[in-house]
Amino acid sequence: MNKLIEQIEALQDIRAGLFSKDFLLTWEKSDHDLLMILEVASVLKQMRDLNISPRVFDTGLAVSNFRDKSTRTRFSFASASNLLGLSVQDLDEEKSQISHGETVRETAAMISFLSDFIGIRDDMFLGEGNRYMREVAASLDESYAHGVLPVRPGVINLQCDMDHPTQSMADLMHLKQVFGSIDELRDKKIVMSWAYSPSYGKPLSVPQGIIALMTRFGMNVHLAYPEGYELIPDIVKKASAQAKESGGGFHVSNSMEESMKDAHIVYPKSWAPYHIMQRRTDLLKKADRDGLRDLEQECLVSNAKYTHWEYDHAFKALTHDQNAMYMHCLPADISGVSCLKGEVNAEVFEESRLQTYHEAGYKPYIIAAMMLCYRFSSPAEVLKKLLEHNKSRIRYV
Amino acid sequence: MNKLIEQIEALQDIRAGLFSKDFLLTWEKSDHDLLMILEVASVLKQMRDLNISPRVFDTGLAVSNFRDKSTRTRFSFASASNLLGLSVQDLDEEKSQISHGETVRETAAMISFLSDFIGIRDDMFLGEGNRYMREVAASLDESYAHGVLPVRPGVINLQCDMDHPTQSMADLMHLKQVFGSIDELRDKKIVMSWAYSPSYGKPLSVPQGIIALMTRFGMNVHLAYPEGYELIPDIVKKASAQAKESGGGFHVSNSMEESMKDAHIVYPKSWAPYHIMQRRTDLLKKADRDGLRDLEQECLVSNAKYTHWEYDHAFKALTHDQNAMYMHCLPADISGVSCLKGEVNAEVFEESRLQTYHEAGYKPYIIAAMMLCYRFSSPAEVLKKLLEHNKSRIRYV
Amino acid sequence: MNKLIEQIEALQDIRAGLFSKDFLLTWEKSDHDLLMILEVASVLKQMRDLNISPRVFDTGLAVSNFRDKSTRTRFSFASASNLLGLSVQDLDEEKSQISHGETVRETAAMISFLSDFIGIRDDMFLGEGNRYMREVAASLDESYAHGVLPVRPGVINLQCDMDHPTQSMADLMHLKQVFGSIDELRDKKIVMSWAYSPSYGKPLSVPQGIIALMTRFGMNVHLAYPEGYELIPDIVKKASAQAKESGGGFHVSNSMEESMKDAHIVYPKSWAPYHIMQRRTDLLKKADRDGLRDLEQECLVSNAKYTHWEYDHAFKALTHDQNAMYMHCLPADISGVSCLKGEVNAEVFEESRLQTYHEAGYKPYIIAAMMLCYRFSSPAEVLKKLLEHNKSRIRYV
């Protein structure tokens, strides 16, 4: 408990600027911002273990707007909202009458009269998802400025075409936990590698989010993919620049084998090539079903050339101590389990399975930390009061 | 704050009879009832601005039963429920096994064992929606009388075939706010006008709700529509009688131009003709798809004759000070924005857009006020205690 | 109130072992376990009537996973969760990306990071539903043991292929209420009878749950069905053995007439034959639509031979005092109301309709009792503290 109090007091030295700022891309946030999120999330997690309720909202809505399927992030958002006292209200666009264009602005206002947060997943259309979030945010600014809204709801990116910040921050929290501190991550080699999958059209946000975040802490980041499976060039450039600035490294390779050598951490995961996603976006906009079918076929044929990009014991044997830490955002395509042949060998996955559950388990706290830091100018003050108040989450237990 | 206390104390002079009475049609309610709702909603809104939580329920369910699509009202109902401490549980008839006829009675009981409110939208079938609500209400009466239910849940009409009381009351609250008081509305000319839309089958409940409510406060209500676009005759008769009683006016015209002259307030909005809705109801009951398609075609052809019923600068120029207050329940069919040609010119809409957001923003408080007045015999007492208790909605802020 | 305190204190004599144990099958629970559930449910129901909030959770999620349609149980689970302070988060598998096999284990962990309960309905596949629940439970055990989860969520069976324990326990609570005590049920004749329905594929869990529960309390249980409409043999054997042990009776008959004679309680309800459900399960697994259509046809033809298995006045006249207590899990197939010809005559049903509502009304309290007994080692202690704390569910009322 004393250690927890110390940790909370140390928050006051972090010069974060998260108050009243949406969380849309990690690379718009300062290092202090990110450290603050990690620390607040850590405190919230410890409070949970101590059965202390960090409820700061007596009532209030957290709106979720999932424009693509989700289990993990949906439950993480629901858990974070509930932890702080908010009720989730889903904006189900099928049950609504929402058109495109002008009315994004209107809808944003209509769902926000008594809302505190809007969490959005929009990862289908390249160049669209993050822009949609900003359109929502701009509308909230306008409505708040004109007194339409009593409080300005915060917007949280639950995965877009560019970034998946609640995932990458949970991954970073996991790394910090395993290696002991952020400083210990310096010079560690992390490989964000493409891996084979029999499916198609997986978003780019996870690999982009990982390289754009991990290059900021002096890590030696390796990005590996078969020729043609590029990510959005601007984000790759940003990762490279950040690596230079942080004293880390950033390397791109077209060989899984080469990149795995001496890796401390590996993140083998499938994604669709950038140029395919662009064509897919155009076809989706035109609702061109035949074109989409052809593109899928083309993409699967291309994927099939790289079935050897499966993370297996041979690859693992190349890594540091033949035992690199394995990461995945889940669900993984596990050969012989969820598909015939996929991203990872079944035994290799099993060796790290529970670690990936731990990894996923940080996400609710990361989201709750984002919420707390958005709403309160001094999270440290709030956490201290919560600890003093010491309200049981489960009473009489 | 002192002003707020005064406002609450003044509630005691309003002789409302809302306690334990469902809210199904505004014209079943006394003027005092309606004033009470407006005042309680106003107090709740001010409490929100002061970060005071009006939570009166520690736990409890508010059931929503949307038999048609909804965004605004869905979020308003969720917000109101949450504001008072209730959790929304949606009765999704697709995920249920609900038959017609006898079992409405049964379902009503089954969803109510620990429920405090049931909000219903049922606006598709003429002659059905309001009747359905009464069938639910009768079942609740029976189950409560026989001890099946520990409390009798209140029923709130979230739009039916006849009325849309949470909308019209929010509209009235908006008018009161803009004009300063209900008394100031006397003799003001409000035009409820049909407007062109490229869509078909829009419910009659908004125009009916507006003319049936605004004629009660001495307003000069004008109803305008192209020949053939009549509303339910009984409700029009009621509006006319009420206007006489309240010292206001009620006029029906088939000219948008004529009706707009010197209007203080305009409400241009599309609806389907009454007789079309009757035929549509018959076809829907028979599940006659071909018939429905033909009827839609017929209706769209008819609409197309009236594309000049678009509220634009020319019409606006006819109004009082060339600047009538513009109202809409949203979403509006905005020419060049949400459709090629619609109810309102884009520039004209933009001039009042934020005002329509304010208008919509009253709905959550109207619904919460309906709930509070249903459950408590003296809302004034409760509001006073809430103010004294002064619990923060957001703690440590 | 004094009586309530006495009832709570008497709980300390019940040697239940429900703490941290999932509720999957009544026959895995001791008599003391079941009595404890009944008593705790009764106390919670009385607290509701006294406007006392039994909220023990400040926050927390209760996950519902309905793999089949549900109204009654869905609302009961939501009500129970809400009563204790939990928010329901639905795992909607259509909005998720959930595969079969390995990933049940993974999904179970992913939805549980901040969850307290998982309620599951899975009654479509014979041999699958209960197994699925155990697969979820095993995953939770593993994740909790490895520190992935801060608390181990309890699993509650909301209907599987074998049992429907929240239904049968609510039924037992209703019987106890009507007859005065569990002891009074001794030697009472209860008839669980198949009844005609024009539908097909109704689960076996209710009749199985009833015979497996009621044989434990010295009741004289009669199971009646037309030849060929057998239940799962193992469960029938268990019922028979339990009847011997409890000093009750268990009889199987192929005559509705014979079984109804002198019955104190009748439960006429349709189900699909065991062997049909097995074939259906195979066809469902193969997604063999033609096969399923043929099987449905075959089953309906078979059903049609037994339209006289409709509980009507003639059957009722055979029962004890010509007035046996009528039970049903609802919705019943009522002749002339919800179908042309069904399980029960309309007048006969009407004579007991409100009693069936009472019967259904116990389910939320049964589920809440299961939750309380799972989470707290001494429910008596907790209930006493709740009573002392005496927090109003509705404040200022």
Enter the tokens of residue B26: 């505004």
* ipTM metric: 0.95
What is the mean predicted confidence (pLDDT) over C102-107?
Answer: 84
* Spatial distance between the Cα atoms of C334 and C337, rounded to a whole number of angstroms: 5
Q: Which one of B52, B56, B113 would you mutate to disrupt binding with C, by most C Cβ within 10 Å of its Cβ?
A: B113
Q: When comparing pLDDT for A39 and B93, which is higher?
A: A39
pLDDT of residue C225: 98
**Nearest CA-CA partner of C315 in C249, C227, C357, C255:** C255
* Spatial distance between the Cα atoms of C247 and C220, rounded to a whole number of angstroms: 9
**Above 60 in pLDDT, residue A41?**
yes
**Nearest CA-CA partner of A228 in A249, A252, A251:** A252
User: What does residue B219 show for φ and ψ, rounded to 5 degrees?
Assistant: -75, 160
- Cβ atoms < 10 Å from Cβ of B187: 12
Residues in B whose CB is inside 8 Å of some CB of C read 55-61, 63, 87, 89, 91, 95-99, 101-103, 106-107, 109-111, 113-116, 142-143, 146-150, 375-376, 381-382, 385-386
Distances (CA, A) of C178 to C144, C207, C265, C330, C355: 42, 20, 11, 18, 10
Find chain C residues with C-beta within 8 A of A336's C-beta. Answer: none
User: What does residue A122 show for φ and ψ, rounded to 5 degrees?
Assistant: -150, 90
**Above 50 in pLDDT, residue A126?**
yes
**Above 50 in pLDDT, residue C257?**
yes
CA distance, residue B309 to nearest chain C CA (Å)? 42
Find chain B residues with C-beta within 8 A of C79's C-beta. Answer: 61, 89, 113-115
pLDDT of residue B100: 42
Instruction: Indicate yes or no: CB of A48 within 8 angstroms of CB of C97.
Output: no
pLDDT tens, position by position, A180-214: 999 999 999 999 999 999 988 899 999 999 999 99
Chain A residue with CA closest to C85: the answer is A394
**Above 80 in pLDDT, residue C208?**
yes
Q: pTM (2 decimals)?
A: 0.97
Instruction: Indicate yes or no: CB of A61 within 8 angstroms of CB of B71.
Output: no
* Spatial distance between the Cα atoms of A143 and A271, rounded to a whole number of angstroms: 38
pLDDT of residue C76: 98
Instruction: Indicate yes or no: CB of C101 within 8 angstroms of CB of A338.
Output: yes
Q: Which residues of C170-201 are buried (b: 16+ CB within 10 A; e: fewer)?
A: bbbbbbbebbeebeebeebbbbbbbbbbbbbb
Residue B193's SS3 state is: strand
Compute the Cα dihedral for C77, C81, C82, C83 and give only its sign.
Answer: positive
pLDDT of residue B98: 55
**Above 90 in pLDDT, residue A343?**
yes
**Which helix H or strand E contains B277, and what residues bound it?**
helix B274-286
Which residue type is seen at A349? F
Environment class of residue A11 by beta-carbon count within 10 Å: exposed (0-12), middle (13-18) or buried (19+)? buried
Of A53, A72, A78, the CB nearest to C61: A78
pLDDT of residue C117: 98
What is the mean predicted confidence (pLDDT) over B375-386?
Answer: 97
Q: What is the DSSP string of A62-131?
A: EEEEESS--SHHHHHHHHHHHHHTPEEEE--TTTTT--STTHHHHHHHHT-TTEEEEEEEE-SSTTTHHH
* Spatial distance between the Cα atoms of A147 and B50, rounded to a whole number of angstroms: 14
Contact residues for C301 (Cβ-Cβ < 8 A; gap 6+):
none
Chain A residue with CA closest to C58: the answer is A393
Which residue type is seen at C199? S
Enter the tokens of residue A375: 């709403």
pLDDT of residue A96: 63
**pLDDT averaged over chain B?**
95
* Spatial distance between the Cα atoms of C285 and C276, rounded to a whole number of angstroms: 14
Which of these ranges, A14-23, A290-299, B154-163, has the smallest mean pLDDT? A290-299
Tell how far CA B196 is from the center of its chain: 21
Confidence of residue B28 (pLDDT cuts 50, 70, 90): very high
pLDDT of residue B325: 98
Confidence of residue A293 (pLDDT cuts 50, 70, 90): very high
Q: Are C356 and C328 in contact (CB under 8 A)?
A: yes
Matching residue, tokens 């957290």: A62
pLDDT tens, position by position, C232-254: 999 999 999 999 999 999 999 99
Confidence of residue C285 (pLDDT cuts 50, 70, 90): confident
Confidence of residue C95 (pLDDT cuts 50, 70, 90): low
User: What does residue C23 show for φ and ψ, rounded to 5 degrees?
Assistant: -110, 95
Q: Which one of A114, A118, A374 would you mutate to disrupt binding with B, by most B Cβ within 10 Å of its Cβ?
A: A114
**Above 70 in pLDDT, residue A100?**
no
pLDDT of residue A99: 46
* Spatial distance between the Cα atoms of C242 and C226, rounded to a whole number of angstroms: 24
Confidence of residue A334 (pLDDT cuts 50, 70, 90): very high
User: What does residue C100 show for φ and ψ, rounded to 5 degrees?
Assistant: -90, 175
Helix axes C346-361, B129-145, angle to 10 degrees: 70
What is the mean predicted confidence (pLDDT) over B131-157?
Answer: 97
Neighbours of chain A (3+ CB pairs under 8 A): B, C
* Spatial distance between the Cα atoms of C63 and C132, rounded to a whole number of angstroms: 15
Q: Are A276 and A299 in contact (CB under 8 A)?
A: yes
**Above 90 in pLDDT, residue C97?**
no
Of A60, A114, A382, the CB nearest to B396: A382
What is the mean predicted confidence (pLDDT) over A99-117?
Answer: 85
pLDDT of residue B97: 55
pLDDT tens, position by position, A235-286: 999 999 999 999 999 999 999 999 999 999 999 999 999 999 899 889 988 8
**pLDDT averaged over chain A?**
95
Residue A155's SS3 state is: strand
pLDDT of residue C99: 46
**Above 50 in pLDDT, residue B140?**
yes
Give the 3-state secondary structure of chain C.
Answer: CHHHHHHHHHHHHCCCCCCCCCECCHHHCCHHHHHHHHHHHHHHHHHHHCCECCCCECCCEEEEEECCCCCHHHHHHHHHHHHHCCEEEECCCCCCCCCCCCHHHHHHHHCCCCEEEEEEEECCCCCCHHHHHHHHHHHHHHHHHCCCCCCCCEEEEEEECCCCHHHHHHHHHHHHHHHCCCHHHCCCEEEEEECCCCCCCCCCHHHHHHHHHHHHHCCEEEEECCCCCCCCHHHHHHHHHHHHHHCCEEEEECCHHHHHCCCCEEEEECCCCHHHHHHHHHHHHHCCHHHHHHHHHHHHHHHHCCCCCCECHHHHHHCHHHCCEECCCCCCCEECCCECCCCECHHHHHHHHHHHHHHHHCHHHHHHHHHHHHHCCCHHHHHHHHHHHCCECECCC
Confidence of residue C201 (pLDDT cuts 50, 70, 90): confident
Find chain A residues with C-beta within 8 A of B328's C-beta. Answer: none
Residue A387's SS3 state is: helix
Domains, chain C, with CATH or none = 2-163+363-389 (3.40.50.1370), 167-360 (3.40.50.1370)
CA distance, residue C72 to nearest chain B CA (Å)? 6
**Above 50 in pLDDT, residue B99?**
no
pLDDT tens, position by position, A307-324: 999 999 999 999 999 999
Confidence of residue B94 (pLDDT cuts 50, 70, 90): confident
**pLDDT averaged over chain C?**
95
Of A57, A99, A386, the CB nearest to B338: A99
**Above 80 in pLDDT, residue B71?**
yes
Contact residues for A282 (Cβ-Cβ < 8 A; gap 6+):
none
pLDDT of residue A263: 98
pLDDT tens, position by position, C129-163: 999 999 999 999 999 999 999 999 999 999 999 99
Which residue type is seen at B199? S
